[in-house]
Amino acid sequence: GAGVSQSPSNKVTEKGKDVELRCDPISGHTALYWYRQSLGQGLEFLIYFQGNSAPDKSGLPSDRFSAERTGGSVSTLTIQRTQQEDSAVYLCASSLYGQGDYEQYFGPGTRLTVT
């Protein structure tokens, strides 16, 4: 079956512009996660969605970052007024349920470069 897909695969933007990153999770997965991975760094948790519950936004680094998940499926991560330090690979993952003992399925990521 189809895995997690993300678009675009690469995005180059100018400092100060807004960007939207999209994630299509595996059908039927109730949990969706966004992570950020910078060069030489581990996966940094950003935000977590579980069903229709309020998202866990505890990992968002600033109020320039926001995300939504429509209809319990597709999710969009928006970064406003991008800064150079936002350059990273943004990864989306989904899992059947949002518990630590369920494996996460990752998308290929979106490489964001802010010039």
Partner 1 sequence: SQKIEQNSEALNIQEGKTATLTCNYTNYSPAYLQWYRQDPGRGPVFLLLIRENEKEKRKERLKVTFDTTLKQSLFHITASQPADSATYLCALGRKGYSTLTFGKGTMLLVSP
Residues that bind partner 1 (CB under 8 A): 4, 31, 33, 35, 40-43, 45, 48, 50, 56, 59, 91, 93, 98-101, 103-109
Please, which residue, 63 or 103, has the CB nearer to partner 1? Answer: 103
Cα angle 104-90-20, degrees, rounded to a multiple of 5: 120
Residue 111's contacts (CB-CB under 8 Å, 6 or more residues apart) are: 9, 10, 11, 88, 89
Smallest distance, partner 1 to C-beta of residue 108, A: 5
Least Å distance between CB 33 and partner 1?
7
DSSP 97: S
Question: Which is nearer to partner 1, 71 or 100 (by Cβ)?
Answer: 100
Q: What are phi and psi of 34, to 5 degrees?
A: -115, 135
